[in-house]
A and B are shown apart, each in its own frame.
Chain A
Amino acid sequence: MGKAIIAVNDLRKDFQVGEVTVHALRGINLKIESGEFVAIMGASGSGKSTMLNILGCLDKPTSGTYELDSVSVAELSKNERATLRNRKLGFVFQSYNLLPRTSALENVELPLLYNPKIKARERKEIALQALEAVKLTDRMHHKPNQLSGGQQQRVAIARSLVNDPVVILADEATGNLDTRTSYEIMSLFQELNEKGKTIVFVTHEYDIARLASRNVIFRDGHIIKEAQVTERLNVQVLLESIPANDGFD
């Protein structure tokens, strides 16, 4: 067993909407260890994104504790959380969130611009390595509007990798993609996980969840089920199960 990368204790998050208080998270306890590949599932509105945003230090919990790589996040200032995001976290969004009219390479370099320790030359080298990891070296000078959805998401994954984070968080990263492209993206994640990266992702697809090593199920702001995946699927098998072409031959 590796060491705990994420340790969450009695975490609560309330949203105040006018007079009404929405209890998005109602006491979450969760530990994720180094090298795990965790899928979070649950109905719409059950609090998955809220949870992931807090894990990603984009949002602050109303109460409870959260330790990321032995750092107590609740006590950090806004700026310290920003720096933590830059050094320890990678985020992959459902809608890619690439800078428009900016080349893939420059999009991947972006997080490194916010790290003063990295020199210009290093920056390019690291970004190229990340693009290589997502197999997009040949597209490095393409702008987002010249790339397919799957390719854009691969650029986004390269961007999340570039600062060598302790954990990658992905919120419905395959939500906008067709099945085959989703599997290709998942195969990337799986590869990264096999190399030791800790990954936490939210998904609605059961087969994709079964690629993970552990599933965590949310309902109404609670974790209702948490289980190691017993019959873990391999993404290559899934890919082979659908025809390589459009299936109309």
Chain B
Amino acid sequence: MNLLNLLKIAVNALLLNKLRAFLTMLGIVIGVASVIAMLAIGQGSKKSIQDQVSSMGSNMIIVMPGIQQRGGVHMGSSSSKSLSVDDVEAIAMHCPSIKMVSPEVRSSGQVIYANNNAPTTIYGGNENYLGIKMLTVTSGREFASKEVQRAAKVCLIGQTVIDNIFEEGVDPIGKYIRFNSIPIKIIGVLSEKGQNTFGQDQDDLLIVPYTTVQKRILAISHIQTILASALSEAASSSALTEIENLLRQRHDISDDEEDDFEVRSQEELVKTFSSISDILTVLLGVIAGISLLVGGIGIMNIMYVSVTERTREIGLRMSIGGRSIDILLQFLTESILISIIGGVIGILSGLGASQLVSSVMKWPVAVMPQAVLASFLVCTAIGVFFGWYPARKAANLDPIDALRYE
């Protein structure tokens, strides 16, 4: 039999019972739609975390003081004073895979302008700091290395702080604010970054030379973190080893001792967070996959009942020349058509649902084209797999018995 005739026969048979065909389809529709939507949600959260981490800096490497153990007692890592400005200079000189490096010291406190005040965090870095963190100023200027050297009382201000302490329409450049009662002159406004995935406001900050924080605010000589930027993404793993080797040597750590610092690259962070949302995606996908399976079993059930119900029709088709293979293919085509049409409707509703989730609930979604293609193939496979048994039952009927069936 040719394909066109086969399709005509199967389509006509389905049209004879539109409502049943539709109800059979429903299971597949729901299954596919949930697979598409769930994977889109899972993938969306993964992508947004990745974007977030990448926007934190350019091939950024973070060196933090390590967890120190003294006689088995964990000393909090922030209390450690293992990192120094000399370490920063050494990294700049001796690590070829590093493009830029900056110390980081931070403190939280109250910022005051006129009668307004607000809590915020002040970050101190050198002239590379903005470049490493991929920050830019929209107006005014960055601070220069000379200002870093003399611990100048100049700052760059984030948009949230401006909104908090300045009246609308006031140009903050050149104004003096007080941070923990120290007067600081605003020389630049930072471009807006918005919230990150973890809900943190990335515009609620001041950036000043690190020397200013060290000397004028905290009165310390060590630094809290070292931020560096590798030459490229590919160079970031060699940069990690270079820094680790250099710092072990500088901190006189013998071979059997653990580091008193921790080096992390942005790539590692991305991987850690991605793997969490990968697990989420798989979990959502499995749940949705189960509903697809249930839909498939629904097809088998209905097709099976329909073969029994249509025994006389099968007998007739055989008596006018339908071969077993023709009958088999007819029922198989019917179930494949049901699952493919159901699949297409499911894909469309899944895309719609993803769109709805993103616009109503403001969740990040990313539809994976592979998921759409895979759903389509899975549907066809479900049609074949679950249609096979009922179709074979139909094909194996004896024409006489089928015609006589009451």
**Which residues of A does B touch, CB under 8 Å?**
53, 56, 58-59, 78-79, 82-83, 85-87, 91, 93, 97, 99-102, 106, 110-111, 113-116, 120, 159, 163
Contact = CB atoms under 8 A, between A and B. Distances in A.
B73 to A, nearest CB: 84
B12 A114 contact: no
Nearest to A97: B316
A58 to B, nearest CB: 5
Given A82-B321, A99-B313, A111-B321, A59 B5 contact: no
B319 A85 contact: yes
Contacts of B218: none
B403 A116 contact: no
Interface of B: 1-2, 4-5, 8-9, 12, 16, 312-313, 315-326, 399-400, 403
Given A100-B16, A114-B326, A87 B321 contact: yes
A79 B320 contact: no
B323 A82 contact: yes
Main secondary structure, interface of B, reads: helix
Contacts of A85: 318-321
Contact of A58 (B317, B326, B403): B403
Contact of A56 (B5, B9, B316, B319): B319
A203 to B, nearest CB: 19
Contacts of A120: 4
B324 A111 contact: no
19 contacts: A59-B400, A82-B321, A82-B322, A83-B321, A83-B323, A85-B318, A85-B319, A87-B321, A97-B315, A99-B313, A99-B316, A102-B12, A110-B317, A110-B320, A113-B9, A114-B322, A116-B2, A159-B320, A163-B321
B21 to A, nearest CB: 13
A63 to B, nearest CB: 18
B1 A116 contact: yes
Contacts of A79: 323-325
A58 B316 CA distance: 11
A159 B316 CA distance: 11
A53 B317 CA distance: 15
Nearest to A85: B321
A86 B313 CA distance: 16
Contacts of B1: 113-114, 116
A50 B326 CA distance: 25
B5 A116 contact: yes
B5 A113 contact: yes
A113 B316 CA distance: 13
Contacts of A111: 320-321
Contacts of A87: 321
A82 B318 contact: yes
A58 B317 CA distance: 12
A86 B316 contact: no
Contacts of B320: 85-86, 91, 110-111, 114, 159
Contacts of B313: 99
A115 B321 contact: yes
A114 B399 contact: no
Contacts of A93: 403
B397 to A, nearest CB: 11
A120 B106 CA distance: 81
A93 B321 CA distance: 15
Nearest to A90: B320
B309 to A, nearest CB: 11
A106 B316 CA distance: 14
B324 A113 contact: no
Contacts of B400: 53, 58-59
Contact of B399 (A58, A101, A116, A159): A58
Given A113-B1, A114-B321, 6 more contacts: A53-B400, A82-B324, A85-B319, A86-B320, A97-B319, A102-B16
A83 B400 CA distance: 16
Contacts of B325: 79
A82 B399 CA distance: 10
B319 A58 contact: yes
A102 B324 CA distance: 22
Contacts of B326: 82, 114
B324 to A, nearest CB: 6
A163 B5 CA distance: 16
Taking each of A79, A85, A106, A120, which has the highest tally of chain B beta carbons within 10 Å of its own beta carbon?
A85
A25 to B, nearest CB: 14
Contacts of A59: 399-400
